[in-house]
Amino acid sequence: MVHSTQIHKKQPANILKVSLMLLFAVFIPSVAEAATIDYKVIEQNLRALIPFVAATSYVMGVVFITVAVFKLKRYGEMRTMMSSNVNIAGKISLIIVGLMLLYLPTTLETFNLTIFGNSQVELFSDQQNFGAASEVMKVVVLAIRLIGLISFVRGCVILSKLGAEGGAQPGMMGKGMLHIIGGILAWNILATWNVVLASIGYSS
């Protein structure tokens, strides 16, 4: 009687184990297949987001330049009455940042040429093959590049606030430049990686 009770107690546990085994046997291949498909979908989405961020920067550049022109016009009209209180630095900052965003590809090429000595971005296809992990590495590289592009645009926006009428916050210049330089390093992540390897004595 005791033996029969123990068997009945073990049956739910055995059924649970068998159910879990069947679940994993069916679910894991499906997850692996979905993951393979998702890498391609994610890569396509990331590639589509880069032109979207670039287009957004164009719009922001036009807006910054337009705002700066209107502010300069108002400055010219009121310079006699508020000559001691009006600051022109904010308007100049808006124009410079607006031009940087409006000509974003040229700006990125200029920064790449200054930092890496080459205006072109190194692509993943130019690097050695990672075998089965190539699809994953493509997604990782694209994600880092997208983050770098967003960081660069954000750095430009931060610099546009320099010389604002209300007064810029302390450290804003450094924060903006940090975003811009970090964004360029991430935008050309493969060249950055090669520089790091060369600096520690390894060649890619």
Here the tokens at position 36 are: 């393979």
pTM above 0.85, yes or no: no
Q: How far is CA 180 from each of CA 27, 30, 103, rounded to the nearest angstrom?
A: 44, 42, 15
Q: What are the pLDDT digits (tens) for 32-79?
A: 454 445 677 888 888 899 999 999 999 999 999 999 888 888 777 766
Q: What is the Cα–Cα distance from 101 to 24, expressed in whole angstroms?
A: 50
- Mean pLDDT, range 82-106, rounded to an integer: 82
DSSP characters over 67-117? HHHHHHHHHHHHTTTSTTT--SHHHHHHHHHHHHHHTHHHHHHHHHHHHHS
What are the start-end ranges of the E strands in the chain?
none
- Residue 119 is classified by DSSP as S
The predicted pLDDT at position 154 comes to 94
Per-residue pLDDT tens for 114-173?
Answer: 998 888 887 776 445 566 567 778 888 899 999 999 999 999 999 888 766 655 677 788
- For residue 147, which amino acid is it? I
Most confident of 99-108, 132-141, 189-198: 99-108
Tokens coding 89: 């630095």
